[in-house]
Each structure stands twice: as structure tokens, then as C-alpha cells.
């Protein structure tokens, strides 16, 4: 019998990660414009088909996160994207939050919306073949934020989402992303990430969420993108693992990392460093990258189907390198 625990376990399969292909129309549109491709609905569909039909993608991918428009879409031969993924043994995951809005009265902070009608939407997505969901909260770091009020509100919302998802036999992926952009140092990033994750699990327990059927999607802990001294991979690994030991309950089956604006190479190097000191931890650790996997494929494709095979090779190679990183066997000379 399929359970949330068995679904979570399949998403955390050894050597595999999760492809986050759930960009909104606006986000993927900007990415397409950067490679001189018209951001039309058809081009978005063609691009997603390129990703999902990459030969042997199932060797490295356990699940794919989809946007609402993608889960309803089909490949050029008429096969639904969900069925295409299921046929490869890949778990369809659906992004269910509806993005962020300004947190009124809290300058520099945002809150995630989408709880209204979430139960009905999750039920529909389950009927379409999705077996896991994802909800992202965003925590910016500034001089006066994140505030306790912002953290409490967004973590409570994450917990309510998780409870609703589990009530429909869907594995919730909870993503409390502490944003990489900013001038903060490593110590500040660790402080905020630890605080956010501690509050999140307090709220999950209060809302009676079953932690054995949930996955945390976490940022790496590293100094902000505008801080003069960028964090090396070894320090990222030590700080990130220390954060997890402080904040994450052992009952949780696993944690997947987001790339969060880092280059593909840096994301993989950080994953490799974490994997090297992962021994003995209670959680499975893997990746759930978007741009950290897709950027090379986008640059190879550039909207031209004659480049499709080249783009798919670029994606497959990025996936292979991250699979090696999960065993601590990646080095920068492989790039």
C-alpha cells in the first residue's frame, strides 16, 4: 500500500535528486529572455518536454516539481507530462503555494499565500497523479529582519499546508528559504536559518503533522551574495550540518537542498562537501535544484530544437555530477 512514508522514501532514493521545474510563467519567462527565446506558453511547453524526455533522466531523478500549468500540459505526442514521468518511475510533485506578497507593516518582508481552497486543489492534483507537494516561504535577511512575527506567521502557514497535504495522502515538501541575496555574513545566515527551522518544526508539531512523512527543502547556510568574503564549501558544510543538528528532529526522513541563486558549479561543490561529513546523520540528504541543474541546458538549447540533444546532454551531465556529489566523489576538475 502506498503511504506518505513510502513516497518520501522513494523521493530520497540513493544517488537521486529532485528536479525543481516549477518556475512560474514570469520566472521562466525571464530565463528565456536571457537566452533570446520568446517566453510564450508553447516555448515553455517545449522546454519542459526537453527536460522530461532527457534520456535516462530516471537514473538521477526521483521526482519533478511541477507548476499548475505544467501538470495540466502534454508532450508533443499528446502524452500528459504526468504520465510521461510516471512511466519513468519519477514521482510528480506539485507546487501549491501562490507566491509571496508584501507583509504589511513589515518592510523588507513577505508572506506566502495560497491556503484558501488548498484542500480542493490538493485533492485534484492527487487525482491527476501527483503524490507530493511543495510550498515555499521566503525569509530575507536585513538589518532589522526577519522579525519574529514574520517567521511565526510564515512557519504556521507552512505547517497548515503540510497538514492539509498529508490529509490527502500527499507528502509535503516544506521550503523555508533563507535568501542568499544580501550582505550578511555566515554567522548571521546560520542564526536566521537555525531560528527559522526551529520555529517551523515547533509549528509542524503544534499542527500535528506526521514528521515521518515530510521532507524539508533547505538552503545551504552561507554568507550573502554581496558579502565580501564568500563561504568556502567546507565551511558551508560544517555550518549547514550544525544548523540541522540544532533545529531538525531526527524523525524527519530527509532533507533536500535548493540552489538558491548559486551557480550550478557552486551548488554541486557545496552538496559534495556536505555529503563528505554526512555519515551518521539520521536524515537522507539530496538535492532539489532548479537553475542549479537547468542553466546549462537552457544555454545549450536557446529555443532551437536542433540543439535539443545537446541541451539534454548538458542536463544529464549536471545530474551525473550531483549524483557523484551525493557520494562525496565530485571535484571541480570534472567541470
Q: Which domains does the chain have, with CATH numbers?
A: 4-334 (3.20.20.70)
Per residue in 149-170, pLDDT tens? 999 999 999 999 999 999 999 9
What mean pLDDT, rounded, does the chain reach? Answer: 96
Q: Between 334 and 122, whose confidence is greater?
A: 122
Position 1 confidence tier, pLDDT thresholds 50, 70, 90? confident
pLDDT reading at 266 higher than 90: yes
175 included as an active-site residue: yes
Q: Which of these is catalytic: 16, 95, 109, 175?
A: 175
Position 335 confidence tier, pLDDT thresholds 50, 70, 90? confident
pLDDT reading at 29 higher than 80: yes
Position 278 confidence tier, pLDDT thresholds 50, 70, 90? confident
Answer for the pair 288, 277: CB distance below 8 angstroms, yes or no.
Answer: no
Strand order in the sheet with 215-218: 17-21, 61-66, 91-95, 132-139, 171-178, 215-218, 254-257, 284-287
pLDDT reading at 262 higher than 90: yes
Name the 3-class secondary structure at 159: helix
Mean pLDDT within 258-279: 94
d(CA 13, CA 62): 7
* Consecutive H or E run containing 202: helix 186-206
How long, in residues, is the chain? 335
Answer for the pair 261, 180: CB distance below 8 angstroms, yes or no.
Answer: yes
d(CA 294, CA 301): 11
d(CA 120, CA 126): 10
pLDDT reading at 186 higher than 80: yes
Diameter of the chain measured on Cα atoms? 53
Per residue in 63-94, pLDDT tens? 999 999 999 999 999 999 999 999 999 999 99
Torsion of the alpha carbons at 107, 110, 116 and 121, rounded to the nearest 10? 170
Per residue in 96-140, pLDDT tens? 999 999 999 999 999 999 999 999 999 999 999 999 999 999 999
Ranges assigned E (strand) in the chain: 17-21, 61-66, 91-95, 100-102, 110-112, 132-139, 171-178, 215-218, 254-257, 284-287
Per residue in 187-243, pLDDT tens? 999 999 999 999 999 999 999 999 999 999 999 999 999 999 999 999 999 999 999
Summarize the chain as % helix, strand, coil (round to 5): 50, 15, 35
177 included as an active-site residue: no
Question: Taking the model in full, what pTM does it have?
Answer: 0.96
Q: Which of these is catalytic: 16, 95, 217, 284?
A: 217
**Short-list 31, 188, 234, CA closest to 39:** 31
d(CA 1, CA 222): 41
Q: What is the pLDDT of residue 279?
A: 77
Amino acid at each position: 500500500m502506498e503511504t506518505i512514508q513510502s513516497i518520501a522514501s522513494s523521493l530520497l532514493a540513493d544517488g537521486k535528486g529532485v528536479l525543481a521545474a516549477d518556475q512560474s510563467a514570469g520566472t521562466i519567462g525571464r530565463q528565456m529572455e536571457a537566452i533570446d527565446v520568446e517566453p510564450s506558453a508553447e516555448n515553455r511547453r517545449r522546454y519542459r518536454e526537453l527536460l522530461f524526455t532527457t534520456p535516462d533522466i530516471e537514473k538521477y531523478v526521483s521526482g519533478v516539481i511541477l507548476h499548475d500549468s505544467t501538470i495540466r500540459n502534454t508532450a508533443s505526442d499528446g502524452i500528459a507530462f504526468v504520465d510521461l514521468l510516471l512511466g519513468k518511475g519519477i514521482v510528480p510533485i506539485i507546487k501549491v503555494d501562490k507566491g509571496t506578497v508584501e507583509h504589511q507593516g513589515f518592510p523588507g518582508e513577505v508572506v506566502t499565500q495560497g491556503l484558501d481552497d488548498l484542500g480542493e486543489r490538493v485533492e485534484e492534483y492527487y487525482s491527476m497523479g501527483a503524490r507530493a507537494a511543495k510550498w515555499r516561504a521566503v525569509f530575507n535577511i536585513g538589518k532589522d529582519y526577519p522579525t519574529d512575527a514574520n517567521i511565526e506567521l510564515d512557519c504556521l502557514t507552512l505547517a497548515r499546508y503540510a497538514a492539509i497535504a498529508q490529509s490527502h495522502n500527499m507528502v509535503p515538501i516544506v521550503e523555508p528559504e533563507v535568501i542568499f541575496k544580501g550582505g550578511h555574513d555566515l554567522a548571521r545566515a546560520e542564526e536566521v536559518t537555525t531560528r527559522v527551522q526551529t520555529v517551523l518544526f515547533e509549528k509542524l508539531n503544534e499542527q500535528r503533522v506526521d514528521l515521518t512523512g515530510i521532507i524539508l527543502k533547505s538552503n545551504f547556510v552561507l554568507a550573502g551574495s554581496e558579502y565580501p568574503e564568500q563561504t568556502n564549501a567546507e565551511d558551508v558544510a560544517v555550518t549547514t550540518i550544525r544548523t540541522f543538528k540544532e533545529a531538525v528532529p531526527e524523525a524527519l526522513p530527509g532533507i533536500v537542498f535548493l540552489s538558491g541563486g548559486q551557480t550550478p558549479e557552486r551548488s554541486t561543490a557545496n552538496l559534495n562537501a556536505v555529503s563528505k561529513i554526512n555519515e551518521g546523520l539520521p536524515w537522507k540528504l539530496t538535492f532539489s535544484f532548479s537553475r542549479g541543474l537547468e542553466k546549462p541546458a537552457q544555454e545549450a538549447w536557446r529555443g532551437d530544437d536542433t540543439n535539443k540533444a545537446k541541451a539534454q546532454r548538458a542536463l544529464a551531465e549536471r545530474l551525473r555530477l550531483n549524483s557523484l556529489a551525493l557520494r562525496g566523489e565530485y571535484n571541480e576538475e570534472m567541470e
